[in-house]
Amino acid sequence: MPTMTYLQAIGDAMREEMRSDERVFVMGEDIGVFGGAFKVTDGFIEEFGAGRVMDTPLAESGIIGTAIGAAVEGLRPITEMQFADFVSCGFDQLVNVAGKMYYRQGLSVNITVRLPSGGGFSGGPFHSQNPEAWFMHAPGLKVVAPSTAEDAKGLLISAVRDPNPVVYMEHKHLYRRVKGDVPEGTYETPFSARVAREGTDLAVIAYGAMVHTALEATADIDGASVEVLDLRSLVPLDEEAILASVRKCSKVVIVDEANQTCATGAQVAALIAERAWEDLDGPVVRVATPDVPIPFSPSLEQAVLPQVDDVREACRELLEY
């Protein structure tokens, strides 16, 4: 089984799907000749040609809107927003046209919208956001967020094959930092959670880059047995997996890199309050980015994004509760 970076696994997923299904094509800004701002589609235009590796005008609404049109004709476009932040310019097409189309018209919209998201490298307020909750709140959109190379490939293939619009959050900070064994060929990863590490004393619930932060933070807290649940899919949210971790551990820390208000973690906390109250042995604790734009300077950025020490301290306090 080959070892790939998270970034290579994303590219591999698209390449394999394009080889096996002529309906699949990729489109976005600078993805063709240049290979994409992060080189995810490097070499694609040579293999598949400019028709299926489409350099588009600088127009995010245009990218999503035209992808919708191609999808309802039976194609399976994979669109790249150069940065997740730029999806704000395509928000209307994604939320109002794509998200509501099947409910209103019975017309399925098979598009995948790739959103390179997340901070940690001085990208500043417009290149660091985690906008997944915007789309969790919009009916009709699925939202997934892989943390490993294997899941990056499998979730992207599942997204491309799903007849619904899928927002695929790929964390930029994981692109080249995370490596792993990735099966060859094509395979689908289900839109459900994954236990990243088994444990019994406390459960940390996270997704995307924060899974790695959680694993590192809880590798050794005075010998405590800490479970880490990787949500992988935010819509649909794997409620049973969340409740199972809570029942087993009785203490929960939820970690978001996103701004805290109405974030994924807020939804998870609400679920636990509604359905697992009797299983708790302490308050639900959240670690998230406060409601501020992501600042540029490293000292400021580190001050707002959840760090390993922040998560470790939150876990230690809850374990002592």
Partner 1 sequence: MATETAQRSAEPGDVSEHLTKEDRIGLLRAMLMMRGIEERAMTLYRQGKVPGSFYDGYGQEAVSAGAAWAMAPRDRLCILHRDLAAHVIRGVPAARIFAQYMGREGGITGGRDGNVHFGDRTKGCVGMVSMLPDMMLVATGLAMAFKLRREERCAITWFGDGSTSRGDFHEAMNWAGVQRLPVIFVLENNQYAYSTPLDQQFAVDPVERAAAYGFPGLTVDGNDCEAMFEAVREARERAIGGGGPTLIEAVTMRMHGHAAHDDMKYVPKAQIEEWRAKDPIDRQVKRVEALGVDVQALRDEVKAEIERGVEEALAMPMPDPDTAADRVFADEPALLEDGNAPWSGFARTS
Residues with catalytic function: 127
- Measured between alpha carbons, how far is 94 from 109 in angstroms, rounded to an integer? 10
Shortest distance, CB of residue 165 to partner 1, whole angstroms? 10
The count of other CB atoms within 10 Å of the CB of residue 23 is: 16
Q: Select 161 or 179, whichever has its Cβ closest to partner 1.
A: 161
Q: Cα 149 to chain center, whole Å?
A: 12
- Measured between alpha carbons, how far is 319 from 197 in angstroms, rounded to an integer? 17
State the chain's maximal CA–CA distance in angstroms.
60
Rule CB under 8 A: which residues touch partner 1? 25, 51-52, 56-57, 59, 61-62, 64-75, 92-93, 96-97, 100-108, 110, 139-140, 142, 163-164
Shortest distance, CB of residue 171 to partner 1, whole angstroms? 25
Q: Select 138 or 209, whichever has its Cβ closest to partner 1.
A: 138
Could you tell me where the DSSP H helices lie in 162-307?
Answer: 209-217, 239-249, 264-275, 298-304
Q: Select 271 or 280, whichever has its Cβ closest to partner 1.
A: 271
Q: Select 39 or 161, whichever has its Cβ closest to partner 1.
A: 161
Please answer whether residues 285 and 254 qualify as being in contact, where contact means their C-beta atoms are separated by less than 8 angstroms.
Answer: yes
Please answer whether residues 85 and 119 qualify as being in contact, where contact means their C-beta atoms are separated by less than 8 angstroms.
Answer: no
Shortest distance, CB of residue 210 to partner 1, whole angstroms? 26
Shortest distance, CB of residue 223 to partner 1, whole angstroms? 44
Instruction: List CB contacts of 104: < 8 A, sequence separation 6 or more.
Output: none
Burial class (CB in 10 A: 0-12, 13-18, 19+), 157: buried
